[in-house]
Structure 1
Amino acid sequence: MSRAHAVIRRYKTCAEVMKHGVEIFVVGDPAGARLNAAARRLARTVSENDSHVWGDLLNAANALRWRRMTQPQPRGFHPAITEAGDAVVREARVLRGAVADEVLLEEIAAAAQDVCQTDSPVGAELRRSIEEADPSICAVVASSHRARAGMQEWLASLAVPVLLPGELGAVDERIEQLYVVGPPFFFPPSLVTAPATDELTFLMPAWFGHRAIPTSRFADQADGAMKAKVRERAVGDLSEPESFVSNDEPLEETYYPQPMWRGRTSGDREPALDEAEAWKVLLAGNLAIWLDDGDRIRTLDPRQPAGERVTYAAVGDVVPGTYLVLRNGETERGAMYEAALHLMGSQAEAIKATQCGWKAALEARLASKGAVASIAELRARGVRSAARVRAWTEPTLISPKHERDLVLLLEWLGLAVEPSHQNAMALRRAVYRASADLREELEDAVSRAGLAALERDGHMSLEIEREGFRSMVVARVQARSPYTEIVPRPHVRAPFSDRSGKWLE
């Protein structure tokens, strides 16, 4: 499809959606409604008492409620809901005797068990609607990678594509009907303002009260902004338990599992030479890394064809949903440095000597002048990446990203440019060769692995034969901290066990 054809088609779909409106199937879900009422009571208890005692139970309950709402496939295709339900029961049991409201504990545990023992009516309505409309013209939109993986397996017999919101630009022209699983509140406005199909239907449980269609932030100021009509259709048993929390309470944000950041603890001090500023990145599989401001990090893109999946991403582009390829328990950089030296053969010792020489001189200069003054002087000389001067002392970091920066740095240190410059460039080229070899082995390992399982679970191990790289892990980014911490430099980019992101999608 040409770009012009795609634009024309999008205008036509906009006209159709404006004409016919957006449909919302509000599906009765008594078991989910019971859980929702108990979870809202729990959220209010936490809010009123400012207590962290309930925190683990609230996180588990929110995860269960979120999965009930966005992953409506039957239990046989849904181990994640059993996992979350068991966690709710377990955390409620832990709190018995430690909190006063035992009735709430019993209710939320019973509600969790009820949810795990009943299939979501939203799923039944979704499948019925697809079969009635004709599966060949339908597609489903999921809220997350995990939700998509579960629904893909369940709907495989109907050959219905399951997509994420960001993938709708590639919707086949034969698709006329989109079914969006979850409340409009949790999806980008572009689903409605730039629709990919003529017909758009949201399916959501009746117990979620926020049903407004999202609009662009500029809609109120724009002339002719798209504001589609909404047609609600109630399905099934809409009865709900008595609520102890008003539906007017602004609690919508509690439905989506959120990371719990504690705030920066490093203060405003300057990192030492053996320390780095780094963001904490939570990963699937109960892992995390400290991510510094280096130039790039190895990633995997499951959407690409075989042979093109393993690549690099800029550190600034590491966001939730990115898959990182990491050396289990250690950084990749050290092993890659040793592999590059091995490729250099007889030149290795001379290269190591010049690398150690200018790095030692840099450490001494930083110790005498301080990092702030050194950065200012380097910037005055035209060094583009001067802010990373502390990182350049690390033995396995070969040189500044820009070749000219290394030349200027050596001159600032009062050292001869050669042979240090040439040796660093030769070592960098060797690292590129070693990295390319590793990439080919990783591509082979990925081709043998189950990418469907990666999308469902968010992580997987890659076993390759290369010495020093036999245990690699691919893990999806769940969240990235909004602030940096000062951490020991050897800890940067080395995956470690961390359960903070356990319930994130």
Structure 2
Amino acid sequence: MTSRVQEVIRRYEASAAVLRHGVEIFAVGDPAGARLNAAVRRLIYTADENGSDIWGDLLRAANALRWRRMTQPQPGDRNQALIEAARAVRREARLLAGAVADDALLEEVSRAAEDVRETDSPVGHELRRSIEEADPAICAVVASSNPARAGLQDWLETLAVPVVLPGELGGLSDAIEQLYVVGPPIFFPSSVVTAPATEEVAFLLPSWFGHRSLPTSRLAMQADGAMKVQAKERVVGDVTEPESPVPGDEPTEDIYYPQPTWRGRTSGDREPGADEAEAWKVLLAGQLAIWLDDGDRIRTLDPRQPAGERVTYAAVDAVAQGTYLVLRDGATERGAMYEAALRRMGTRADNIVVTQRAWKAALTRQLAVRSASACIRELRAQGVRSAARVRAWIEPTLISPKHEQDLVLLLEWLGLPVEPTHRNAMELRRAVYQATADLREELEDAVSRADLAALEREGYMRLAIAREGFRSMVVARVHARSPYTEIVARQQTRVPFGDRSSEWLE
């Protein structure tokens, strides 16, 4: 309790200090980045004017390069992500040569990308200079994303300066007095300013990014005496920029942030068939994606947890940008765990398989006679809490509804004797839990030997374990989750597949 109270007191003191002294904004001249920004803005304007997606791949690569110039300002020899984006810009520009009319634009974008690749970011130079001047022992750096944090950590390792995400500011040591936030204020939550972790806060951004206003709380407009922090701008270096290439104001932050392109649901309003499922498309690092069904949970990894506690499960609803999923390459984990559980049960397995097949066959017949929505209504009337998942229950390796009582009520609704089906299902579930726990231990061991810094930097890695059927496991960070579901074959769910649309997301 004392530590919590002390943290609250510290935050109030920091807020009062920031309110008195304001927040510094270092607008650092970056001629190479300014040239790239001008070229990308012209590219966006041209693509919008043409109403064609022919520019799409080049635009996404160029936008990613611009984003990384802002948020990952470490030198080029420590910035593989920026180098890869610059190469991709030049590659995509070459592919468009002859296919579009504006060759001059292609040349300008390509040259701007090369300039950025060859020129270290002045923002990075100013960040390191400021830390060394202030004393690294009292400084911390706030990064915009996991990849940005990993790159900055590697670069600043010799200074022993902590690099954190905005949500981790509460864990900073009391010795930290100065925060350096890498990127424009608008890219960060308002709490960085309105509930600061330190009494000194400074943002560092390239001068060509024009939006420099500080973020405010959503409640500030309705609150009397709301906290209004003043910004003190400091211009550093050569801030000359190319003449604005397109009409209108500078775009908002949404244009800068690499985002997925969702093209809308194609499945229509029909209900899924017996072997189909509603699933969200989830884009992953490593140019991968999965179809995520509405199951209860999925295996995840948290590289920030201590050894032995990194591999766990997350609710499907909680899978969001930044989550690390642990997936079986080429197949779902569920089927392999089911088979492992049956092997563990020996001679009892045959009888259990018979009863499992019997109730699933009966449910399949009901779904064929009635619509799924009608079955859901009837089951809910019977008190089945998870009735909405009725279509998923016919999948062979899904043992039973999540709630034990739901299985009892379902069997009664189907007109089947509760025993021995209920008892067999619970025995099979316990065997699956044990097989899952064994796999978790092997995964924890593999993770303890893996390069987790590389995982945070790249967002993707493979785990090699000895267990049959699991020798190729994939860990991949979630980049984005579709806002709508599609109907897909159930056997396709949770199986990673290649998808280039995730290439430039963070």
Band of TM-score, shorter chain: over 0.9
Residue 7 of structure 2 aligns with which residue? 6
Residue 255 of structure 1 aligns with which residue? 256
CA contact (8 A) 2:181 2:204 kept: yes
Distance (Å, rounded) in 2 between the aligned partners of 1:431 and 1:500:
35
Letter in 2 for 1:310: V
Distance (Å, rounded) in 2 between the aligned partners of 1:210 and 1:410:
61
Residue 147 of structure 2 aligns with which residue? 146
Distance (Å, rounded) in 2 between the aligned partners of 1:388 and 1:271:
12
CA contact (8 A) 2:187 2:253 kept: no
Secondary structure at the counterpart of residue 53 of structure 1: helix
1:290 aligns with 2:291: yes
Residue 299 of structure 1 aligns with which residue? 300
Secondary structure at the counterpart of residue 500 of structure 1: helix
Residue 34 of structure 1 aligns with which residue? 35
CA contact (8 A) 1:302 1:309 kept: yes
How much has 1:51 moved relative to structure 2?
1.1
Residue 85 of structure 1 aligns with which residue? 86
1:238 aligns with 2:232: no
Letter in 2 for 1:361: A
1:478 aligns with 2:473: no
Distance (Å, rounded) in 2 between the aligned partners of 1:19 and 1:325:
47
Residue 195 of structure 1 aligns with which residue? 196
Distance (Å, rounded) in 2 between the aligned partners of 1:363 and 1:347:
25
Distance (Å, rounded) in 1 between the aligned partners of 2:293 and 2:227:
42
Distance (Å, rounded) in 2 between the aligned partners of 1:415 and 1:18:
69
1:409 aligns with 2:413: no
How much has 1:252 moved relative to structure 2?
3.1
* Alpha-carbon displacement from aligned partner over 1:66-108 (angstroms, at most 9, x marks no partner): 0000000001110111100011111111111111111111100
TM-score scaled to structure 2, two decimals? 0.99
CA contact (8 A) 2:360 2:393 kept: yes
* Alpha-carbon displacement from aligned partner over 1:138-175 (angstroms, at most 9, x marks no partner): 00000010001111010000000000011001111000
Count, aligned residues: 505
Residue 186 of structure 1 aligns with which residue? 187
CA contact (8 A) 2:460 2:475 kept: yes
Q: Do the aligned partners of residues 247 and 215 (structure 1) sit closer, same or farther apart at CA in structure 2, a change above 3 Å counting?
A: farther
Residue 174 of structure 1 aligns with which residue? 175
User: Where do residues 219-238 of structure 1 align in structure 2 (5 Å cutoff)?
Assistant: 219-238=220-239
Residue 266 of structure 2 aligns with which residue? 265
How much has 1:242 moved relative to structure 2?
1.1
How much has 1:251 moved relative to structure 2?
4.3
How much has 1:246 moved relative to structure 2?
4.1
Letter in 2 for 1:20: H
Distance (Å, rounded) in 2 between the aligned partners of 1:374 and 1:247:
55
CA contact (8 A) 1:209 1:247 kept: no
CA contact (8 A) 1:46 1:54 kept: yes
CA contact (8 A) 1:279 1:292 kept: yes
CA contact (8 A) 2:267 2:486 kept: yes
Distance (Å, rounded) in 1 between the aligned partners of 2:160 and 2:251:
39
Distance (Å, rounded) in 1 between the aligned partners of 2:414 and 2:324:
39
CA contact (8 A) 2:74 2:121 kept: yes
Secondary structure at the counterpart of residue 81 of structure 1: helix
Matched-pair identity in %: 74
Letter in 2 for 1:276: A
Secondary structure at the counterpart of residue 490 of structure 1: helix
Distance (Å, rounded) in 1 between the aligned partners of 2:247 and 2:194:
31
CA contact (8 A) 1:327 1:469 kept: yes
User: Where do residues 394-433 of structure 1 align in structure 2 (5 Å cutoff)?
Assistant: 394-433=395-434
Distance (Å, rounded) in 1 between the aligned partners of 2:266 and 2:225:
49
How much has 1:247 moved relative to structure 2?
5.9
User: Where do residues 148-163 of structure 1 align in structure 2 (5 Å cutoff)?
Assistant: 148-163=149-164
Distance (Å, rounded) in 2 between the aligned partners of 1:387 and 1:239:
60
Distance (Å, rounded) in 2 between the aligned partners of 1:161 and 1:381:
55
Letter in 2 for 1:206: S
Residue 450 of structure 2 aligns with which residue? 449
Distance (Å, rounded) in 1 between the aligned partners of 2:235 and 2:171:
31
Listed as ranges, the gaps of 5+ residues in structure 1 are none
* Alpha-carbon displacement from aligned partner over 1:323-345 (angstroms, at most 9, x marks no partner): 00000011000000000101111
Residue 137 of structure 1 aligns with which residue? 138
How much has 1:49 moved relative to structure 2?
1.6
Secondary structure at the counterpart of residue 49 of structure 2: helix
Distance (Å, rounded) in 1 between the aligned partners of 2:476 and 2:235:
40
Secondary structure at the counterpart of residue 54 of structure 1: helix
Secondary structure at the counterpart of residue 442 of structure 1: helix
RMSD between aligned residues: 0.8
Listed as ranges, the gaps of 5+ residues in structure 2 are none
How much has 1:225 moved relative to structure 2?
1.1
* Alpha-carbon displacement from aligned partner over 1:22-66 (angstroms, at most 9, x marks no partner): 000000000000000000000011112211010001000000000
1:345 aligns with 2:346: yes
Distance (Å, rounded) in 2 between the aligned partners of 1:254 and 1:110:
21
Secondary structure at the counterpart of residue 239 of structure 2: coil
How much has 1:249 moved relative to structure 2?
4.2
Residue 389 of structure 1 aligns with which residue? 390
